[in-house]
């Protein structure tokens, strides 16, 4: 044990030397809708690092419904869904999510990570093949590894590369093939070519999983995500994974699919069967969030308008633009040291913008990940642009290091 402890200490020291050691900031709310404060400090910061795209995480209507439900039904569910943990709020939320997405059924999970594990492990096994976008979320990669299937990655957002993988030999005649992709990629903010991927999957009789955690609530004519934007149905995409902790401002996740698919998941998905159900107060608050997202489309319109405002400000300030048209706007800096230095400078200027470093992103593509919310104000976006321009100008070799985004995708 002593020797192992020394090895761990050396490994941690090496991470620190490489500026890859990550620590949690303990935050509390500040006076403004997007304001936060690091505990123990007095200076408020404008949070440009979260995923609260519709500004619902601090909406009092969600908090009031959560408290009301907790008083009536308790703070925890007390058991797995299939034992005694499934309550009326869970059942209602599953029905409302299915209706929202025009799917026959939905199944709740405690986290998006667990939902992705379920999608891949329940439907693939030894002898099957899983094909993943190179920049997929870690949970999809882990699901492929846990499934026991062989898996390969294709070039990021490249339908032609996927076609080559699908056409390659090596799958037994009775084996299954499953393709999994993010809808919106969480670190780059770009959108997968889901329509082209769905056509390829139909042609090759492959199942398709789309994790639309960052698209739901934001994209599409009515906020139903990347699949609505591409006019795709459950026939095109049999398994749709979504989360409640981003645009919907609460917590938890789901898989929406045809009824037999959900029933099979309910029987076979280990990350559903063997875990405690989401607390009912969380489900109750999420039901409110769904109603707000549907009845207040201005939230979606506002966050997309702020995205355009930020990008226009970047263009005027000479800040390199990514290909993202979503509220996720990365600024690629290259090295972890530059990303950390930029984060520190922006924090001193009053902005919380997280430095994202490997292994979350590929080596050489450390970045600032700016994420916009409907709760941001125009003047806050403009002030961030000005502060970021000053920050990048002060970084050594900032201009040359900020153009690596496309290269890192290949």
Do 278 and 404 belong to one domain? no
Task: State residue 206's pLDDT score.
Answer: 96
Do 256 and 345 belong to one domain? no
pLDDT in tens, 61-98: 999 999 999 999 999 999 999 999 999 999 999 999 99
Across the beta sheet with 354-356, the strand order is 328-334, 366-371, 354-356
Task: State residue 169's pLDDT score.
Answer: 56
pLDDT band per the 50, 70, 90 thresholds, residue 397: low
Do 307 and 237 belong to one domain? no
Who has greater pLDDT, 7 or 53? 53
Last residue of a domain, one of 271, 295, 319: 295
Please count the other Cβ atoms lying within 10 Å of the Cβ belonging to residue 102: 12
Do 283 and 301 belong to one domain? no
Strands 35-38 and 27-29: antiparallel
Q: Domain of 401: which CATH number?
A: 3.90.1150.10
Do 280 and 323 belong to one domain? no
Do 291 and 143 belong to one domain? yes
Checking if the pLDDT of 403 tops 50, the result is no
Residue 253 within any structural domain of the chain: yes
Residue 258 within any structural domain of the chain: yes
pLDDT in tens, 233-277: 999 999 999 999 999 999 999 999 999 999 999 999 999 999 999
Residue 359 within any structural domain of the chain: yes
Who has greater pLDDT, 344 or 173? 344
Rounded to 10°, the helix 194-203/159-167 angle is 20
Handedness of CA 277, 281, 282, 283 (dihedral sign): positive
- End-to-end Cα spacing for the chain: 42
Residue 328 within any structural domain of the chain: yes
Residue 111 within any structural domain of the chain: yes
Do 225 and 311 belong to one domain? no
Closest CA to 243 of 116, 365, 361, 136: 116
Last residue of a domain, one of 295, 317, 348: 295
Residue 198 within any structural domain of the chain: yes
pLDDT in tens, 182-223: 999 999 999 999 999 999 999 999 999 999 999 999 999 999
Checking if the pLDDT of 357 tops 80, the result is yes
211-220, 278-287, 393-402: which range is least confident on average?
393-402
Task: List, by residue number, the catalytic residues.
Answer: 186, 214, 246
Mean pLDDT, rounded, for 348-353: 96
Do 85 and 232 belong to one domain? yes
198-202, 253-257, 388-392, 404-408: which range is least confident on average?
404-408
Last residue of a domain, one of 295, 312, 331: 295
Task: State residue 398's pLDDT score.
Answer: 47
Q: Domain of 156: which CATH number?
A: 3.40.640.10
Closest CA to 385 of 333, 326, 308, 323: 308
Print the SS3 string covering the chain: CHHHHHHHHHHHHHHHHCCCCCCCCCEEECCCCCEEEECCCCCCEEECCCCCCCCCCCCHHHHHHHHHHHHHHCCCCCCEHHHHHCCHHHHHHHHHHHHHCCCCEEEEECCHHHHHHHHHHHHCCCCCEEEEECCCCHHHHHHHHHHCCEEEEECCCCHHHHHHHHHCCCCCCCCCEEEEEECECCCCCCECCHHHHHHHHHHCCCEEEEECCCCCCCCCCCCCCHHHHCCCCCCCCCEEEEECCCCCCCCCEEEEECHHHHHHHHHHCHHHHCCECCCHHHHHHHHHHHHHHHHCCHHHHHHHHHHHHHHHHHHHHCCCCCCCCCCEEEEEEECHHHHHHHHHHHHHCCEECEEECCCCCCCCCEEEEEECCCCCCHHHHHHHHHHHHHHHHHCCCHHHHCCCCCHHHC
CA distances from 249 to 198, 302, 310, 317, 383 (A): 29, 16, 22, 32, 25
Residue 14 within any structural domain of the chain: no
Contact 390, 383 (CB under 8 A): no
Do 311 and 242 belong to one domain? no
pLDDT band per the 50, 70, 90 thresholds, residue 25: confident
* Total tally of structural domains belonging to the chain: 2
Do 87 and 155 belong to one domain? yes
Contact 53, 218 (CB under 8 A): yes
What CA–CA distance (Å, rounded) separates 227 from 308?
Answer: 22
Do 322 and 355 belong to one domain? yes
Task: State residue 291's pLDDT score.
Answer: 98
pLDDT band per the 50, 70, 90 thresholds, residue 172: low
Residue 222 within any structural domain of the chain: yes
Task: State residue 329's pLDDT score.
Answer: 98
Task: State residue 22's pLDDT score.
Answer: 84
What CA–CA distance (Å, rounded) separates 218 from 210?
Answer: 16
Do 143 and 236 belong to one domain? yes
The parent domain of residue 391 ranges over 19-48+297-409
Cα torsion at 361, 367, 373, 376 (round to 10°)?
170
**Tally of CA atoms within 13 A in the half-sphere of 164 that contains its CB:** 7
């Amino acid at each position: 044990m002593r020797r192992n402890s020394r090895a761990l200490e050396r490994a941690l020291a090496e991470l620190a030397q490489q500026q890859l050691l990550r620590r949690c900031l303990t935050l509390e709310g500040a006076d403004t809708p997007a304001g936060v404060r690091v505990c123990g400090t007095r200076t408020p910061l404008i949070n440009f690092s979260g995923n609260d795209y519709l500004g619902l995480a601090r909406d009092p209507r969600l908090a009031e419904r959560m408290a009301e439900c907790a008083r009536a039904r308790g703070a925890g569910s007390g058991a797995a869904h299939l034992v005694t943990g499934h309550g009326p709020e869970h059942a209602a939320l599953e029905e409302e999510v299915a209706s929202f997405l025009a799917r026959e059924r939905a199944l709740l999970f405690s986290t998006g990570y667990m939902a992705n594990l379920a999608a891949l492990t329940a439907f693939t096994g030894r002898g099957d093949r899983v094909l993943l976008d190179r920049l997929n979320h870690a949970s999809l990669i882990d699901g492929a590894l846990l499934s026991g299937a062989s898996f390969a990655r294709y070039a990021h957002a490249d339908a032609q590369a996927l076609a080559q993988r699908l056409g390659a030999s090596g799958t037994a005649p009775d084996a299954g093939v499953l393709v999994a992709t993010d809808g919106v990629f969480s670190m780059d903010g770009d959108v997968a070519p889901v329509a082209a991927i769905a056509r390829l999957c139909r042609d090759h009789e492959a199942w398709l999983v789309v994790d639309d955690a960052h698209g739901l609530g934001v994209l599409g004519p009515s906020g139903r995500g990347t699949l609505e934007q591409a006019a795709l149905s459950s026939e095109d995409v049999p398994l749709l994974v979504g989360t409640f902790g981003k645009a919907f401002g609460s917590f938890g996740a789901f898989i929406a699919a045809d009824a037999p698919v959900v029933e099979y998941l309910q029987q076979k998905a280990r990350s559903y069967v063997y875990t405690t159900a989401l607390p009912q107060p969380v489900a109750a608050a999420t039901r409110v969030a769904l109603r707000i997202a549907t009845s207040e489309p201005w939230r979606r319109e506002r966050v997309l308008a702020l995205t355009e405002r930020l990008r226009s400000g970047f263009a005027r300030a000479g800040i390199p633009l990514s290909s993202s048209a979503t509220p996720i706007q990365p600024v690629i800096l290259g090295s972890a040291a530059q990303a950390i230095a930029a984060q520190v400078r922006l924090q001193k200027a009053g902005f919380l913008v997280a430095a994202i470093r490997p292994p979350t992103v590929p080596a050489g593509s450390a970045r600032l990940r700016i994420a916009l919310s409907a709760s941001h104000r125009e003047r806050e976006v403009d002030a961030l642009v000005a502060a970021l321009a000053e920050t990048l100008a002060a970084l050594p070799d900032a201009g040359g290091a900020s153009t690596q985004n496309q290269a890192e995708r290949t």
